[in-house]
Structure 1
Amino acid sequence: MPVDDVVVGDVLLVRPAEIVPVDGILLTENGTFDESSLTGESMPVTRTQGEEVLSGAINGSRAIRIRALRTGADSQYQQIVALVHSAESSHAPIVRLADRFAIPFTAVALVLAGTAWAISGDSTRFAEVLVLATPCPLLIAAPVAFLGGLSRAAKSGVIMKSGAVVEQIARVRSAAFDKTGTLTQGRPELVDVRPAAGFDAEEILQLAASAEQYSSHVLADGIRRAAAARGLVLHAAEEASETATNGVSATIGGRTVVVGKPAYVASLAPDTVRATLGVGEAAAYMAVDGGFAGILVLADAARPEAAAVVSWLRVHEVERVVMLTGDVHSTAESVGTQIGIDEVHAELLPPEKVRLASELQPRPVLMVGDGVNDAPVLAAADIGIAMGAKGATAAGDAADVVILVDSLAKVVDAIAIGRHTLRVALTAIWIGIGLSVGLMIVAMTGVIPAVVGALVQELVDLATILYALRALSGPPSGLRPDAVSHTAPNPSSTGSAQPPGSASAATGIP
């Protein structure tokens, strides 16, 4: 049924992997939800019967029932959309680059033409001077430069929505970043394998990944990817079942393998030992044939290029870099320390992000995010950049720039292209104005007839337009892609691993 037809009190069935349509009270015993796009919490959260579930959250692997607490128009997702519209309407209009030169240039041209007429007493002198007052550097050359910049950005996977955005991003002085899915990968990666006595790291990873083939849980996906990266062959199960929110059980090669939450695994393997986890880490426990087999530790690690991007911004005149996230303080601080952001604001709701972005100085302020919860602050910032490779329609609609490639390094490319384009546009304008004013001064003497002047001003137009086309190409950003490590974490024989994006990653700064 259409979401607008839902009324308070309706009982709704939400199938596995579906988006929760309205805010509601959970009627099912429990359920797991991905709320990362709403709150910034990187790991799935478990809700129990009677707790509130927010619209926009993605249901896990179990069908659940909720009782509608609010209508679609009043639910969390629609409140975020309303906040986006409010933020967009509060934007000050951007004065176009060419408009800043138009009135002074016109005034100078009229003064020169009037002076020539007054001195010579010949009214045709007025026309001879004005013929050379070509407006094409403003009307054509600057837009050509901006279109060239937009084209160059699009070829590199960055969509800028207007020439005004190019001008704004070139002048950025503060940058704010969301955490989950922006500074981090947005999907948990295996960072450590801790086998129990009698097992080795490769063996339990292979068994766990084989069992997790039959699970849709986000941690299961991370375990499978880690096994594939190490070239481990996954075995088919003779029998497999998943207990929603708890874990998966499979019979593989005659052995019973269980992977899941500690309480669930401990109920089947009493010798299970709880792990000590670091900030932002989650663990999948494992039992084989009723005995504790080990622990797989996962974390949503920082992007390998994140530290290099932050360092590049600081070197290139961005005076302030901050993190605005809905995730918990400890996890946010840990990621900030890894990548070099020392100003971290955590556990924020969308209105709080908007307020902090509006108060951020110096300006213009750039905001980078990817989730639904980032849409309002992307709209409120002077320049909003959405990481659009994984969807996030609301964020992409609200942003001024959409990055189509799943790489934070494209933020650097966008700024570098914007700055080069603005330099080319300004130079083209000054070339045109300089040539025009010089020729007008010569024309005041009467040596350039009107017909000749008309032809000469066409040459001035051509020169400025050809120069403006330099925006189609330009110097690289300076962020060396070969200096950014993309190596996946690899458990050693002792079961240890270094998370990607750790402090030892190269910065890639020239």
Structure 2
Amino acid sequence: MRPASLRTAILQFPLVAATLTAGAAVILMLALGAAPAAQWTASAYALLIAVIRSGAMIKALIGGRWGIDLLAVTAIAATVAVGEYVAALIIVLMLAGGEALEDIAQGRATRELRSLLERTPQTAHRQLNGGPPEDIPADAVRPGDVLLIKPSEVVPVDGVLLTGTGSFDESMLTGESLPVEHTEGDTLLSGSVNGDNAVNMTATSTAKDSQYSQIVALVQEAASSRPPVVRLADRYAVPFTLLAFALAGAGWYFSQDPGRFAQVLVVATPCPLLIAAPVAFLAGTSRAARSGIIIKNGGTLEQLARVQTAVFDKTGTLTHGRPTLHGIRLPKAEAWPISEDRLLQLAASAEQYSSHVLASSVIAAARQRGLELLPGSDANEHATQGVTATCGDHRVVVGKPGFVRSVTTGFEEADLAGGQLAVYVGVDGRFVGALVMSDPLRANAVGTLTGLRRLGVRETLLLTGDARPTAEQIASQAGISHVRAGCLPGDKVSIVAGLRKRPVMMVGDGVNDAPVLAAADVGVAMGAKGSTAASESADVVIMLDDLSKAVLAVEIGQRTMRIALASIWTGILLSVGLMIAAVFGYIPAVAGALLQELVDLATILNALRALRGGRKRSTTPVGGMPVSVAGVR
């Protein structure tokens, strides 16, 4: 080991270094034939550590945490009392080494989480009046500032690209390894890494309110939380401690040898019990973060592992949420002729004044056909129903069938296939036709549902505000067993609260579904961007717009729980087995201390398996052909 590395190790683990030094001194004394001095040195050092650890033991007992310090302090005192000073020294080394192993393991488990903090942007290059850029702290950036992003630099705040094109690595935000191409006017997320060319951008938020800072806050919250299984491990320590003292007392009573009491306690220190579970949960959270899944707290991992019911929103979750124009239907008996392009032009001109998701789709369809939007006036949006506006020389109404029927004559209901939705159009008081919209099912939707069933999810439910025919069509294609259509936000909350097979996982877009995400046992916000990423309603934030990540989140939860519990029980069973052997005198104190250290190492290494994925399973969609579906106004 190089001198610098040695100094770092000594500073990082001073108790290990001090114990090794004391051990070397004891070995040297024994080699020189000074056994009494060796015993005195080892015993004094061990008792000093025991006194120091007693403070931590008392604090732990007051806080309701038993086990590691109480047993360790008693074991040190007992081994010194019966003259097993080498075993006492090994117990101290075991304690110090166990804590060092925990630090090392947690450092490895949180590698991806720490890398987020290390990459937090510190500096920005602000340009003023076309002059040379000035370096300012990232926290000093304000919305509207023009920033220069140099090649390979991290974008410091959220903003809009000013330069023509740019390539950005967003893997730390989304888990997507391929660079993303952006053009002028596109949103840039803080935390993404610029490519080979310098670009300019306009800041749209401060560093504190930007995407990257929100992700870091979520990660810190996840790392600091104590999951229920960790608290459960603490509770295991109470009966384990009582059992250890009982066995130690029994060994002393039946053998009439006080050394037997010390031998049992030496192998009873439950380091695996208190270390393995936190390491496993940190490893699982880290693996999720590496895959673009931010899990806000450790308890969510346990809930994910036990999910029985999966509930899905439709638009933007099972579908892409970007409805496209499927066709234009003109009335059978039109009083005055109108072409499809003219109908689409007038409808899109009116939809300029609507905030509904279908409005942007209608406008996009008009622009795709090269149609020029007409200026409008006297526009009025009727919430959830439609919009009216004067476009050119015509009064145009666009919206739901009931709304358009109420203000026009000659209305005709469009003949729609399953999963389609019509946007109706009226001009100057007369019905002139309908725009048929569709929203394709995600290609991996069927594979996602198949994967959840494979993981033991027993019930699936589609909750949507759509009409029942559209909802049933999408549910049938995706393989969802139950449908509740025509739901208002309050209805969704009531339905989820009333589900009996729990825990319930709700997958939605994190904005419109905020109330029901909060009502579910596990709320999953998918494809989250910007302020959505910090939504307090969701327990899990999937940064990539990928439905299959919901399956991966459940799989990570299940694997983490299996490994955490296996580590706990492995530590318990091995320690109990060693204690029973020690009761009958088969394990001397020194050998027992060394064996217990091996138990610690084995359980911690097992807990670190949560960093890796399990056996690869196919999630290829089965029959995942796109199907026409759409949202509703």
Measured against the shorter chain, the TM-score band is 0.5 to 0.7
Q: Which has the higher contact order (CA 8 A, sep 6+)?
A: 1
Task: Please tell me whether the aligned partners of residues 432 and 461 of structure 1 are also in contact (alpha carbons under 8 angstroms).
Answer: yes
Residue 454 (structure 1) aligned to one of 569, 593, 608:
593
Who is 1:172 aligned against?
307
Partner of 1:321, secondary structure, is strand
- CA deviation string 1:18-37 (max 9, x = no partner): xxxxxxxxxxxxxxxxxxxx
Residue 305 (structure 1) aligned to one of 425, 441, 444:
444
Pair 115,345 (structure 1): closer, same or farther in 2 beyond 3 Å = same
AA in 2 matched with 1:161: K
Matches of 1:373 and 1:221 in 2, distance apart?
Answer: 17
- CA deviation string 1:240-287 (max 9, x = no partner): 436544578889xxxx9x995699999xx9999763335661326599
Who is 2:255 aligned against?
120
Task: Please tell me whether the aligned partners of residues 349 and 363 of structure 2 are also in contact (alpha carbons under 8 angstroms).
Answer: no
Who is 1:144 aligned against?
279
Residue 605 (structure 2) aligned to one of 457, 466, 487:
466
AA in 2 matched with 1:282: A
Cα deviation for residue 396 of structure 1 reads 3.0
Matches of 2:625 and 2:426 in 1, distance apart?
Answer: 28
Partner of 2:240, secondary structure, is helix
Who is 1:186 aligned against?
321
Pair 486,199 (structure 1): closer, same or farther in 2 beyond 3 Å = farther
1:246-261 to structure 2, matched below 5 A, reads 246=387, 260=398
Q: Say yes or no: does 1:475 pair with 2:610.
A: no
1:313-352 to structure 2, matched below 5 A, reads 313-350=452-489, 352=491
The worse-fitting range, judged by mean Cα deviation, of 319-328 and 123-132 is 319-328
TM-score normalised per structure 1: 0.62
Who is 1:221 aligned against?
360
Partner of 1:399, secondary structure, is coil
Matches of 1:105 and 1:260 in 2, distance apart?
Answer: 71
Q: Say yes or no: does 1:438 pair with 2:573.
A: no
The worse-fitting range, judged by mean Cα deviation, of 439-448 and 454-463 is 439-448
Task: Please tell me whether the aligned partners of residues 413 and 477 of structure 1 are also in contact (alpha carbons under 8 angstroms).
Answer: no
Who is 1:129 aligned against?
264
Pair 407,467 (structure 1): closer, same or farther in 2 beyond 3 Å = same
- CA deviation string 1:370-421 (max 9, x = no partner): 3556444433433222336156759931332222222222111111111111
Who is 1:422 aligned against?
561
AA in 1 matched with 2:582: A
Task: Please tell me whether the aligned partners of residues 141 and 464 of structure 1 are also in contact (alpha carbons under 8 angstroms).
Answer: yes
Pair 427,329 (structure 1): closer, same or farther in 2 beyond 3 Å = same
AA in 2 matched with 1:499: S
Pair 265,132 (structure 1): closer, same or farther in 2 beyond 3 Å = closer
Task: Please tell me whether the aligned partners of residues 517 and 537 of structure 2 are also in contact (alpha carbons under 8 angstroms).
Answer: yes
Q: Say yes or no: does 1:412 pair with 2:551.
A: yes
Cα deviation for residue 347 of structure 1 reads 3.9
Matches of 2:286 and 2:619 in 1, distance apart?
Answer: 22
AA in 1 matched with 2:600: D
Matches of 1:213 and 1:364 in 2, distance apart?
Answer: 42
1:355-394 to structure 2, matched below 5 A, reads 355-370=494-509, 374-387=513-526, 389-390=528-529, 393=532
AA in 2 matched with 1:146: F
Matches of 1:248 and 1:380 in 2, distance apart?
Answer: 39
Pair 447,147 (structure 1): closer, same or farther in 2 beyond 3 Å = same
- CA deviation string 1:117-158 (max 9, x = no partner): 122212232122112123222211111111111111112222
Pair 99,328 (structure 1): closer, same or farther in 2 beyond 3 Å = farther
Who is 1:396 aligned against?
535
Cα deviation for residue 166 of structure 1 reads 0.9
Cα deviation for residue 446 of structure 1 reads 3.5
- CA deviation string 1:474-507 (max 9, x = no partner): 13673535768697xxxxxxxxxx6279xxxxxx
AA in 2 matched with 1:162: N
Partner of 1:438, secondary structure, is helix
Cα deviation for residue 159 of structure 1 reads 1.5
Who is 1:281 aligned against?
421
Cα deviation for residue 214 of structure 1 reads 5.8
Task: Please tell me whether the aligned partners of residues 190 and 297 of structure 1 are also in contact (alpha carbons under 8 angstroms).
Answer: yes
Pair 486,334 (structure 1): closer, same or farther in 2 beyond 3 Å = closer
Matches of 1:477 and 1:349 in 2, distance apart?
Answer: 39
Matches of 1:300 and 1:379 in 2, distance apart?
Answer: 27
Who is 1:499 aligned against?
628
Matches of 1:265 and 1:365 in 2, distance apart?
Answer: 39
- CA deviation string 1:210-247 (max 9, x = no partner): 9699666543422455688xxx574666x643654457
Structure with more helix by fraction: 2
Matches of 2:234 and 2:466 in 1, distance apart?
Answer: 43
1:34-183 to structure 2, matched below 5 A, reads 94=228, 96-99=231-234, 101-183=236-318
Who is 2:57 aligned against?
none
Pair 385,343 (structure 1): closer, same or farther in 2 beyond 3 Å = same
Task: Please tell me whether the aligned partners of residues 374 and 395 of structure 1 are also in contact (alpha carbons under 8 angstroms).
Answer: no
Rg larger in 1 or in 2?
Answer: 2
Of all paired residues, the percent bearing the same amino acid is 49
Matches of 2:576 and 2:313 in 1, distance apart?
Answer: 49
Partner of 2:536, secondary structure, is helix
Pair 123,466 (structure 1): closer, same or farther in 2 beyond 3 Å = same
Task: Please tell me whether the aligned partners of residues 204 and 293 of structure 1 are also in contact (alpha carbons under 8 angstroms).
Answer: no
Partner of 1:398, secondary structure, is coil
Matches of 2:618 and 2:322 in 1, distance apart?
Answer: 25
Task: Please tell me whether the aligned partners of residues 315 and 321 of structure 2 are also in contact (alpha carbons under 8 angstroms).
Answer: yes
Cα deviation for residue 178 of structure 1 reads 3.1
Pair 123,453 (structure 1): closer, same or farther in 2 beyond 3 Å = same
The alignment yields a C-alpha RMSD, in angstroms, of: 4.6
Cα deviation for residue 174 of structure 1 reads 1.9
Q: How many residues align?
A: 391
Cα deviation for residue 465 of structure 1 reads 0.9
Matches of 2:561 and 2:516 in 1, distance apart?
Answer: 25
